[in-house]
Structure 1
Amino acid sequence: MPALALALVLPVAACGSDGSAGEPTRLTVLAAASLTDVFEQLATPFEEEHDADVTFSFGSSTDLAEQVADGAPGDVLATADATSMGLAEDAGVTGEVETFATNVLTIVVPQGNPGGVESLDDLADATWVRCADEVPCGKVAVAVLDAGGVTAEPASLEEDVRAALDKVVSGEADAGLVYATDAVAAADEVDAVEIPGAEEQPTSYYATTLEQASDADLAADWVAWVTSEEGRAILADAGFGRP
């Protein structure tokens, strides 16, 4: 093979997430727990179009933001509130921040509603759970409860919204305060009880690329996909509102 041709081939052979030819590029997305189902749906067409392998770390927005602020590896951060995203912004590890969806709080109960929880007022006589105060779903729960004049104490405070949902699905709680999208995701296992006025305390979602991204262009493509019209249509099907 001529020397020039060899020089052209070698860089291509070195491509890939770990230097191996033909392997998909890895993209690590750190995201709020309430995005679990919809982000996994969004990943499938993205992986096919970009020959990428998208991996997720779901959890409390606050915890994830603190991790990336401390330099933890990751390519994209998606949070369920501005305060958490602000932690990463203040650390100087974010790119442009995009608002891509909204959500509202609802009550979920086991199917058939054995605890008879039909409103926030019924929590006083029920075993119920919500997120801890310091995480986004906890902050909005406190706001909704205060607005409704509810003083009933939860049986437990959970680390993220999926942990709260799991307590209801497992039957450990008569009710839980979670996002409307979590009720949609678990529709075969729970019933939802709408909270009047909850739309006045919406949750907004934010996404950004990270300074420590191993492939900045691929990270930017993920944010662009989530904020695209097609991406937002998938979010809407999962119960999310537009920003």
Structure 2
Amino acid sequence: MHFQFRTGCLYLLLICSFLAACGSAPATSNPSTPQPVKLTIFAASSLTESFKELQQQYTASHHEVTFTNQFAGSQVLAQQLTNGARADILASADQATMKKVSDAGLSEQPQVFAKNKLVVIVPASNPAHIQKLKDLARPGLKIVVAAPSVPVGKYGLQVLDNLGKAPDYGSAYESAVKANFVSQEDNVKSVVNKVQLNEADAGFVYLTDVTPDLTSKVKLIDLPDQLNVIAEYPIAVLKSATSTSQARNFVDYLLSTQGQAILKKYHFIPVH
């Protein structure tokens, strides 16, 4: 009887120990399964279409990553960041705007990942009958540009300055074109929209803004290469990044052969 009692107690003790061990065992996750990462991207408006495809291609091989985008004029994004907004990456349409963020100690070292150039667009119906650059100086035209604080607006003024110094155009031409400015927008997409909606006779935009869906809505007038401005686009991982390693990986992807090929598809000038 004493033996049976001891045996029963021992058996009960083993069962309790087993149940306790099962109950206290921590849930383990597969160490090979990457943890979800959300990257917030602040990017110039002119990068809208290309960045969406770049991110789609990136997530095809990085399933754990999702993106949140904020596209706006570079100067707006920089102001938001210096006012305390948090993001993982900033991609600007000019060096000067990026320098403000970098000088404020908010980013890692920027790198140029793409280049761009300007063109003039007119509505597809072209009611003002603009056929060449010299036509922009005709009195009474409605020309829409971006504000000088916006990179594309600043580049546009540089182009006009170059034209004003060129023998074929001159300072009178530059003044006449500026006299036709009727609106100064806070980002390049607003310029594009006003032209395609026939709210303006012409506008200065990036070549990359003439996307395939716009080819039936606007016509393009090239600027002479020797008088044009090449815009450099820098990108930087921000100090506020929640996943610095993944942010750096995405920047590396933009600079890779595949990333550069996608940017070239959208008419950006590759950096290598």
TM-score (norm 1): 0.89
Aligned match of 1:170 = 197
Q: CA deviation at 1:96?
A: 2.2
Does the 8 Å contact 2:114/2:268 carry over to 1?
yes
Per-residue CA deviations over 1:38-97 (Å, capped at 9, x if unaligned) read: 001111011222222111101111111122123211100000111000011011011121
CA distance in 1, matches of 2:131, 2:158: 19
Q: Is the 8 A contact 1:128 1:176 kept in 2?
A: yes
Matched, 1:206 2:234: yes
Equivalent position amino acid for 1:29 in 2: I
Determine if the alignment matches structure 1 residue 113 to structure 2 residue 123: no
Query: Percent identity between the aligned chains?
Result: 34
**What residue number does 1:31 align with?**
43
Q: Structure 2 unaligned runs (5+)?
A: 1-20, 165-173
Which residue of the other structure, out of 114, 133, 136, is the alignment partner of 1:101? 114
Decide which moves more: 210-219 or 115-124.
Answer: 115-124
**Equivalents in 1 of 2:60, 2:82: separation in Å?**
31
Matched position secondary structure for 1:80: coil
Q: Does 1:141 align with 2:156?
A: yes
Q: Contact between 2:116 and 2:207, CA under 8 Å: does it hold in 1? A: yes
* Compared CA separation, residues 60 and 156, structure 1 to 2 (3 A): same
Give the AA of the match of 2:236: T
CA contact (8 A) 2:102 2:109 kept: no
Asked whether 1:216 is paired with 2:236, we answer: no
**Structure 1 counterpart of 2:216, one-letter code:** D
> What amino acid sits opposite 1:48 in the alignment?
A
Q: Secondary structure at the match of 1:156?
A: strand
Return 45-54 or 84-93, whichever deviates more.
Answer: 45-54
Tell me the number of residue pairs that the alignment of Structure 1 and Structure 2 aligns.
235
1:73 equivalenced with 2:86 (yes/no): yes
- Residue 220 of structure 1: CA displacement? 0.8
Of the structure 1 ranges 45-54 and 137-146, higher mean CA displacement relative to structure 2 is found in: 45-54
Q: Is residue 54 from structure 1 mapped to residue 67 from structure 2 by the alignment?
A: yes
Q: TM-score scaled to structure 2, two decimals?
A: 0.80
Distance 1:207 1:116, change over 3 A: same
Q: Residue 142 of structure 2: which of 88, 102, 127 is its match? A: 127
1:160 to 182, 187, 192: 187
Is 2:29 aligned against 1:9? yes
After TM superposition, give the deviation of residue 25 of structure 1 in Å: 2.2
Give the secondary structure class of the aligned counterpart of 1:109. Answer: strand
- RMSD in angstroms over aligned alpha carbons? 2.3
Paired letter, 1:242: P
Counterpart residue number, 1:20 = none
Alpha-carbon shift at residue 10 of structure 1 (Å) = 9.7
Cα distance change of structure 1 residues 121 and 216 upon mapping to structure 2, 3 Å threshold:
same
Aligned partner of residue 148 in structure 1, secondary structure: helix
Larger radius of gyration: 2
Q: Which moved more, 1:39-48 or 1:158-167?
A: 39-48
- Describe the SS at the equivalent of 2:211: helix
Tell me the CA shift for residue 190 of structure 1: 1.0
Q: Which moved more, 1:191-200 or 1:221-230?
A: 191-200
Q: Distance in 1 between matches of 2:249 and 2:99?
A: 22
Matched residue SS, 1:231: helix
Deviation for aligned residue 1:9: 3.4
Query: Partners of 2:225 and 2:100 in 1: how far apart?
Result: 29
The one-letter code matched in structure 2 to 1:183 is V
- Alpha-carbon contact 2:112-2:235 (below 8 Å) kept: yes
Aligned-partner Cα distance in 2 for 1:228–1:199? 30
**Is 2:256 aligned against 1:228?**
yes
The answer to whether the Cα contact below 8 Å between 2:122 and 2:203 also exists between their aligned partners in 1 is yes
State the AA in 1 paired with 2:248. Answer: A
1:196 equivalent in alignment to 2:224: yes
Residues 188-233 of structure 1: per-residue CA shift (max 9 Å, x gap): 3211110113664110101010000111111111111111111000
